[in-house]
Every structure is written in C-alpha cells, then in structure tokens.
Amino acid sequence: MVKRRVHVAAAAIIREDGHVLLARRPSIVDQGGLWEFPGGKLAPYETGYEALRRELREELGIEILRAQPLIRVHHEYADKRILLDVWQVHDFEGEPFGREGQAVRWVPQAELNNYPFPEANHPILRAVCLPHEYLISDEEADDTVFLDKLERALRDDNIRLVQLRAKTLDDSAYLKRAEQALALCRRYEARLILNGDPALLDSIDADGIHLPSRVLMALKHRPLADDKWLGASTHDPQQLEQAAAIGCDFVTFSPVRVTPSHPGAAPVGWHDFQQLVETAGMPVYALGGVTRDDIDQARAVGAQGIATIRDLWK
C-alpha cells in the first residue's frame, strides 16, 4: 500500500512565563481527543510559514508577527507519512481562542508530559523544553575557578543547559565537582547533564546524561528512565541513527566548522548539516567552530541551537 504524504505546519507558541499553547483535537477526527501544537495542512503551493500564518488566523484568531523554525519531524503512521514543520512563534497580535470550537489551553512546560499527544509530537515536546544554547564545560584543574566560570555563565549569559565534561578528573574528583555544579545549577534553575556512563546518575541526581559516541554505539536500548534527559555526541549519520534507535532526547553533531580543538576533523558545513538534521527526528545542537552569533543560522537550517565551550566558558 502506498502511504499518503501529509505536510503540516505547527506552532510552538510560548509566552514569556514559559507557558505553551495547546489545542485539543476534535473527537470526530483521527486521534481525536489528543492534545497538539496548533496548525494544519499546507494548501497547494504554500510554504510552511504561509500555512502557519493562515492556520493560526483561522483556528486561533491571531496574527503572527515573528516566528522562527524550531524542528521538522518526519513520522510514519500505518496509513500515512507525516512531516511536521514546526515554528516557534515569538510575537503575535490578538488573544488566541478556539475559533472552530476546539479547546485551547496555556500549559506550563513542566506539565506538558501530563497531556496525551499524537506520537509524532514527542520530538516537538523535547524541542519546546530545551534552550537554544548548550554550554559544555571546559577542563579546569581548580574547583574554585570552575565554579566561578560556571556561575558567570548561569548568571550573566542566562545559560540553562550545562554539560559537565571533565576528562582529566578521576572518578572521585568528577563526582565532587558534579555535586558542586548541581547545587549551582539548581540555584539558577538550570539543568545539569553529566558526560559519561549512565551509572553516574546512581551517585549524582543530575538532570541527565550525555553519552560520548563510543558509549552511544555500544548500547542496545535507552539506559535511562524517561524523566531524565539523554543526549549524545554524534559525528556521522550512523551515530545519528543509533541515537534515534535508543531513544535519545537530543544530540550534538560536530564538527560543523573547523575548530582549533580538532584541526584534522573535516567540517560538514551548514548545507550537509541541514540534510542530516532533517531526518534526525530529535533536537540537534550544532557543535564545532560555532558561537552565539551562529544561533539564527543554526536554527534556520533546522538545529535546536548551538553547543559550545569557548564562546560561553569565559
């Protein structure tokens, strides 16, 4: 059976207080009663952004003023292949309401998992809840210097996702630093992700694990509970496929550009990076030679944002 293809534009509308607008699917349609991100099918010859503006005007009575790509999700159901072209709406005019009689609701991000969604929406939930900057800590021999730099990033740069990477520390020193970093991240309502083996969470109740690529490729299933974040380092299509297969929530992909730390590694460039992100099925952070100035470029080609050491670790 040839499956029909459906292209849908959807909106992640996030208020300044972090609440996200959801709409409930009518009971008479496919997957009725489930909640979703507002939007609808593209009309012939429409772009995703054009369809988004039309659908939100028709469904919610609002006019988009500014929006930015968030994630594109390819998903296969029994009877169709769907592409969700998801945009983050930054500014709009009007007060959204269900113009077609559908229920709409502003939901805190922390409560999104309490709502039933179509399966294809799950990567969108991760993208909505993740920031657009991912700080990877640098090697610091001195704990005081490390904590000072981390607090500057949390306080002055508003970093809310931190990976603790410290390959030069032994196990006990790493756990000590992780405890200190976790306390600091909690103070600033940031998430701390530990780089290494998932068993680290048995000792430190951090927010998740970031798998090195060698650990990623050795796994056969997701090693963490669903209430913890699972990230991974990827460098080629096979590693991206493995990350999807074991249920990673997000990945970094590198190198996008030439980087001083790995001068011999060939960069993929933005064009090839976009092709890889298109089918990743999860949020992807661009890593390698990128800075905060590249966030808009990264998001324009489908990335969640940028991951970096040098530009945020000062």
Are 63 and 165 in the same domain?
Answer: no
Please report the pLDDT score of residue 28 as a whole number. Answer: 65
CA distance 215 to 166: 16
Rg from Cα positions in the chain: 20
Given a cut of 90, whether residue 225 has pLDDT beyond it is yes
Please report the pLDDT score of residue 310 as a whole number. Answer: 87
Decide: pTM greater than 0.85: yes
Are 188 and 304 in the same domain?
Answer: yes
Last residue of a domain, one of 129, 153, 181: 129
Residues 6+ apart with CB under 8 A from 299: 68, 69, 70, 132, 305
Please report the pLDDT score of residue 1 as a whole number. Answer: 66
Closest CA relative to residue 213, chosen from 236, 192, 187, 179: 236
Are 220 and 300 in the same domain?
Answer: yes
* Phi, psi angle pair for 75, to nearest 5°: -140, 140
**Proportion of the chain above pLDDT 90, given as a percent:** 86
Are 209 and 74 in the same domain?
Answer: no
Domain extent, residue 101, equals: 4-129
Are 49 and 85 in the same domain?
Answer: yes
Last residue of a domain, one of 77, 94, 129: 129
CA distance 250 to 229: 8
Are 121 and 138 in the same domain?
Answer: no
CATH of the domain at 251: 3.20.20.70
| pLDDT band of 141, cuts 50, 70, 90 | confident
Running DSSP on this structure, what letter comes out for residue 18?
A: S
| pLDDT band of 176, cuts 50, 70, 90 | very high
- Average pLDDT for the chain: 94
Out of 2-11, 209-218, 259-268, 305-314, which region has the weakest mean confidence (pLDDT)? Answer: 259-268
How would you class 312 by CB atoms within 10 Å of its CB: exposed for 0-12, middle for 13-18, buried for 19 or more? buried
Are 58 and 153 in the same domain?
Answer: no
| pLDDT band of 61, cuts 50, 70, 90 | very high
Q: What is the pLDDT of residues 149-161, one digit of tens each?
A: 999 999 999 999 9
Residues 6+ apart with CB under 8 A from 95: 61, 62
Over range 259-284, report the average pLDDT: 90
